[in-house]
Structures are given as C-alpha cells and as structure tokens.
Structure 1
C-alpha cells in the first residue's frame, strides 16, 4: 500500500500526455511496465504484449508520428487502479476508440490492458 510520500497517478498529466506529449505519457510508466493490446488483429487469446518503457516508448513514437488527434474522454482512479477512455481521429476522419485498465505501483503504470476498435 502506498504512503503519503509516494507519487500519485495524476489524471491531468495523463490528459496532457495522451492529448499531445508522448514524452509526458511515457513518463507515467514504470521501467518494467507491461502493456497488453487487444484489437481486431491481436485478439484476446493472443494479445500484443509490450515489455518495459523502451518497447512502450517505440510504440508511442509510432502512434504519435501519425496525423491524428487524441482525446481523454473519461478517467477514474481508485487506489492502485485506474481506467480511462480515449478517442482518436485520423486526418481522413477514421476514428479509433480505446479503453484501458491500469494497475499502478508507486504512482506509475505497472500493467495496462488496452482494448481498441477503429473504423474500417
């Protein structure tokens, strides 16, 4: 259990990172974080799994290099867990919606499961 001296997960920092600053977003992950992605191509029985900030950072670099906008829709933080909804839109109008469940450790994301769907 955390103490008052532990850094807290901050939804405004999450918003700032998601909506345009991938370096800020990456700073929210623990060094040994694990990110599981489930979507049409990486289904629940075989999700894409990224290990550590380096792999997660490469994925964020790719995503944020695209011509698209990101918006934090909802975020709930409860103790060592958080959940959020993100909506994205490519310049051509294609939309993406993702839902994430987070496990937090010392105010950082230790585990994340992201489920996403997009227009086809």
Structure 2
C-alpha cells in the first residue's frame, strides 16, 4: 500500500517537474540558440531535438527508477524514498542543462574561430 502511495507521489512530482522544466528550457533556449547560431530555422530544429531528447531521458530515468524501488513499510519511508528519487531527477536535470549550455557554447566558439 505504501509503495503505491509513493509511486503516485513520485509520478505526479516527476511529471510536473519534467514537463515544466522542459517547457521553460524550450522557450528560453530559443533565444539562447538564436544568439549563438544566428539561423532561426536551425535553432528551431536544434531546440526541438533537445526537447525530444530531454523528454526521452527523463522518461527513461523515471521508468528505471520505478523498477528499482525498494519495499516501503512505513509512512516515513514514503517521504524519504520519494524525496530522494525526486531529488535525483532534479540533479540530473541540472547537470544535463549545464552540459547542453556548455556544449552549445563550445560549438559556437568553434564555429566563430573557423
């Protein structure tokens, strides 16, 4: 019973975080890409690819996270296990976001040197 409660809380929070962060990065990323690349059509294509990859990575992590869930016996475990899993998702999102920004910056730097 506690596992089901934990799954539902985790899925609701993970879905909200994934969709909200993806939407925000997609809209804000358009301007960043246009600043770096100066080609609106290419920027739109890259931004859509990044959004698709972002959703696939998160759905994969959420699915793997659900398969490795330990048995929960107390209400305190529901809170701690769910908080740890949601925290892992937020850390992964943060790292992936900064890797994307740094990679795009390096690509732009290499394009301007040539």
**Which is richer in helix?**
2
**Which is richer in strand?**
1
Report which of the two structures shows the higher radius of gyration computed on alpha carbons: 2
Higher RCO, 1 vs 2 (CA within 8 Å, ≥6 residues apart) = 2
Q: TM-score, normalised by structure 1?
A: 0.28
Q: TM-score, normalised by structure 2?
A: 0.29
